[in-house]
Structure formats: C-alpha cells, structure tokens
Amino acid sequence: MIQLIRGFKDILPEEVELWQHIEKTARSLFEDFGFKEIRIPILEHAELFARSIGEDTDIVEKEMYTFPDGKRGLITLRPEATASVVRAYIQHSLYAKDPIQKFYTIGPMFRRERPQKGRYRQFYQINAEVFGIDSPLIDAQLIFMLVTFFSRLSVTEIETHINSLGCHKCRRDFKDALSIFLSAASEKLCADCKRRSQRNPLRVLDCKVPSCKEAMAEAPSILDYLCDECSIHFNGVKNVLEKFNIPFVIDSLLVRGLDYYTRTTFEIQTSSLGTQNAIAGGGRYDTLVKTLGGPAQPAIGFAIGFDRLVEITDLKSADLGQKPDIFLAALGEKSMSIVFEWFCAFCVDGIKAELDLNGRSLKSQMKRADRLGAEYVLIVGEKELEEGSAILRNMNTKEQAAIPIDDIVERIKKELSQKD
Ligand code: HAM
C-alpha cells in the first residue's frame, strides 16, 4: 500500500472540526481588529525567499523545496507567507490605495526539516501582517490580539517572549561585539555555527545545539546596543503590554530564524509541547518592503503554528457543535421517500440533519443516531404514516411524543429554535 510521505499528514474529518473551529476563531477576531484576508500562491520564484528570509538561514540553506520550472527558472514551495504578502503589497501597489494595510492569510507552508513531534514538512500557519505603521502601539496591539486569540481557545499555558533586534545602525555595533565574542568561543560551537559566525553571527544566537546554547549564555546582549530611537520604541512596546496586563519575558536571544527582522521580535511559547515550544512568532520587518523593490514602509506581523496549536488545544469535537440536530429514521420505502424530502428541507434551512439511506432496522438506525450524538430522532414507519403522525424522540431526556406530519418541518424547526 502506498503510504503518505514522511513529515506530511492527513487531517481526518474528526480532526478537521477542531481545525475549522480554530480557523473561525482567528477569522472572527482578526476581522474585528480590522484585518482583511489575502490569498497568495503556494509557489513563488525561489529568489523571493532568498532575498527576504536570507541566504544564510537554515530555511534557505537547507529546507526549501526548490525545483526548476522550464524557462521560469527555480521555483519554491513557500516556506512561509510573509515574503509573498510583501510581494503582493508591492506588485499590486496596495500602498498607493492606502499605505496602512492589515492582512491575514491561512494555509500550508513547506520546509524540509527533520520531522518530529510538532515539526512537519508540510505545516499550516495563520499569518497576520500590518503595513505602514511605525508606532510601538501596533507591536503591542498584535501581541494583545495573539494572547486574546489563545485565551479564546482556552490555551492558557503560554509565555510571551519579546526582544528588540534594533535597526541596521545599532545592529552593526552589536554584530562587531558578537563576532569578537564568537571567535573567542569558537571551540565550543557546532560546525554550522563556526561557519555562520563569519557570515551571519546573529544566527548563532538561536542555535539549538546544547553546547552552542551554553556558550551563548555569556554572549553580549543586543539590548545593550540599541540606539536611542530603538530603545524608545522597545520601551513603548513594553509599557503598553504592562498597561494591558500582558505578562512577558525579555529574551535577548530571541533573534528568530529569518533575517528580515528589525526592532521588536516576539514568540509565544508553551510548556506543553516539548522542544518545538513556539506556537507563534513574529516581529517587525521595517526594511523588507524596500528591499523587495517597494517604497519604504514599516511592517510587522506574526504567524501562528496551526498544527502545534491543534496539538495543545483541549477542545474535543464533541464540544464544537458538529452533531446533527435531528436524525430521521424511516421504516419502509414509502416513509423513506417522504422523509427524504423532509431531510432536504431541513438542510436547506440550516438544520443539521442525518438520514440512513440504506433502509436498515430501526434498532441500527437508533444506534447510529446515538453514535452521531443527534439531539432528536424523528421516527416514521408505515403505521405512523397511516395515522398521519411521526414520533419525535428527545435523545437527552428520552421523552418521545407523536406529532402530526402536516407542516412537520416547520413544527420541528420551531421546536429546535425554542430549545436554543
Ligand atoms: P516562523 O517562526 O518560522 O515565522 O514560524 C511561525 C510558527 O510556525 C512557529 O512558531 C511554529 O509554531 C510554526 N512552524 C514553523 N515551522 C514549523 C514546522 N516545520 N512544523 C510545524 N510548525 C512549524 C515565520 O514563518 C514568519 N513568517 C512569521 C512572521 C510573520 N513574521 C512576520 N510576519
């Protein structure tokens, strides 16, 4: 039998209910905060990611699914969404309509990482990106929106980590200090970090190899190198978070795995997931729009790791209201043809109905209604039809009563609406 590819997965119908619930929660909250959905392609020119995420990152160096596509050159299955959203913002001159734009997008990303719990080769993200706002208020607002989102899903075991990576000006001095530190600590670094400390020393700060982590505990802190403007900005973010009573941890090693960040970076971490503990991450990328050929526009965003969130969300599909409101149990051909019409009328009217079209015994139909968690069962046999009635059984209270079949759809709709 052909199995799926390692690092990829099927999301089966009973799990999809939870995915849909999370997606609905995100859409509704983000739209209340003024975000509009944008849909972007899954394939892009490889160069887009190399120029935005950075040549010396793990993602671009080793994790992208890139392949030649005839005359179009190399194309890549997107490893993240930010670069594509920026491309679309520039390509469609969205900044000319209004430089301030807020987008969200939901979909699959692809990275050829070593698969393990919480880490997949196809995974899903919920992204939010804001363009055209310099103020630290938006940084804090995005973190507030994220924390609210997790609390709506009853995900409470979270910790918000924040840092500032400064601007290109203050980062230059920090990089110099870090390079000096790294050449002294070179013996303790892994092979990747030895190479990176020459080309992109910042990347060494978030290496997960234990010996590198240990060595980095003594590294200089970027926060000691912030220029006045970056310092004021970071204080602004912290002040608003405090005002909103959002607890946070200042984490000067939080450089994130992508090169486009400037100033604020943040991550929401959880203790419930093991090593892959980040359930969302993001930050400012004030120079990326210009780097990719657009006007100078500040920007900030985040991505939530959908798969990881599903793994730590306690909600069960039983809590999500995906059960039928009514199960129609028909006995005999004549009843089936009438009940079939009622079934369609219920569904058209937005009432979740279920019907067994295989004409099985009443006992097995009742069993199925129970298994599906139906609230009511409507039982119709030849005898009931002759009497012009059907039996409505409340599956919770086990009470049942005969009701006339004239206008039965309307009667049951009324009964269900009274219950709500
Ligand atoms: P990222 O930190 O690479 O950031 O990914 C964001 C989140 O996606 C992670 O915190 C994690 O939950 C999830 N994630 C990443 N890789 C995997 C994987 N292999 N398997 C499962 N989940 C994964 C970005 O992608 C940035 N584009 C975020 C951003 C948006 N920054 C600004 N705007």
Q: How far apart are the first and last CA of the chain?
A: 47
Distance CA 64, CA 84 (A): 15
Q: What is the average pLDDT score of the chain?
A: 93
Ligand 1 centroid, distance to 78 Cα (angstroms): 12
Q: From the CB of 111, is ligand 1 less than 6 Å away?
A: yes
Residue 54 Cα to ligand 1 midpoint, Å, equals: 15
Q: What is the pLDDT of residue 321?
A: 63
What's the pLDDT at 373?
92
Q: Out of 53-57, 238-242, 360-364, 399-403, give the one with best mean pLDDT.
A: 238-242
Amino acid 408 reads I
- Domains of the chain, each with CATH number or no CATH: 13-167+227-316 (3.30.930.10), 323-413 (3.40.50.800)
**What is the average per-residue pLDDT within 342-369?**
93
Q: Is the per-residue pLDDT at 47 higher than 90?
A: yes
Contact 141, 155 (CB under 8 A): no
216/205 Cα distance (integer angstroms): 6
For residue range 186-239, what is the model confidence (pLDDT) as tens digits?
889 998 888 888 888 998 988 888 889 889 988 999 999 999 999 999 999 999
Q: What is the pLDDT of residues 124-143, one digit of tens each?
A: 999 999 999 999 999 999 99
Cβ–ligand 1 distance for 336 under 6 Å, the answer no
Q: How many other β-carbons are positioned within 10 Å of the β-carbon of residue 65? A: 16
β-strands 249-250, 158-164 pairing:
parallel
Residue 7 contacts residue 121 (beta carbons within 8 Å): yes
* 279 in contact with ligand 1, CB cutoff 6 A: yes
Evaluate whether 8 touches 76 at the Cβ level (below 8 Å): no
Whether residue 157 contacts residue 270, with contact meaning beta carbons closer than 8 Å, is answered with yes
Q: What is the spatial distance between Cα 165 and Cα 173, in angstroms, rounded to a whole number?
A: 12
**393 CA distance to ligand 1 centroid (A)?**
49
**Token output for 363:** 């006992």
- The three-point CA angle 278-15-325 to 5° equals 135
Angle at which helix 46-53 crosses helix 82-91, to 10 degrees, equals: 110
Q: Which long-range contacts (CB under 8 A, 24 or more apart) does 412-415 make?
A: 412/326, 412/346, 412/351, 412/376, 412/378, 413/346, 413/349, 413/351, 415/376
> Phi and psi at residue 403, in whole multiples of 5°?
-130, 145
The pLDDT value given to residue 314: 76
Our mutation pick for probing the ligand 1 site, out of 5, 123, 125, 263, counting the most ligand atoms within 8 A of Cβ, is 125
Q: Nearest residue CA, atom 12 of ligand 1?
A: 305
Whether the predicted pLDDT of 53 surpasses 70: yes
> What is the pLDDT at residue 317?
53
Alpha-carbon span 193 to 178, nearest angstrom: 13
Give the Cα-Cα-Cα angle 346, 350, 353 (nearest 5 degrees).
Answer: 45
Q: Is the CB of 63 under 6 A from ligand 1?
A: no
- Residue 45 corresponds to which tokens in the numbers above? 């020119």
Q: Quick one: pLDDT band at residue 417, thresholds 50, 70, 90?
A: confident
Verify whether ligand 1 is closer than 6 Å to residue 307 (CB atom). yes
pLDDT, tens only, 79-131: 999 999 999 999 999 999 999 999 999 999 999 999 998 999 999 999 999 99
Neighbours of 82 (CB within 10 A): 25
What DSSP string runs through 1-33? -PPPPTT-----HHHHHHHHHHHHHHHHHHHHT
Task: Name the burial class of residue 175, with classes exposed (0-12), middle (13-18) and buried (19+) by CB atoms within 10 angstroms of its CB.
Answer: middle
For ligand 1, whether the C-beta of 127 sits within 6 Å is yes
Judged against a pLDDT cut of 70, whether residue 175 lies above it is answered with yes
State whether the beta carbon of 90 lies less than 6 angstroms from ligand 1. Answer: no
Cα–ligand 1 centroid distance for 186 (angstroms): 29
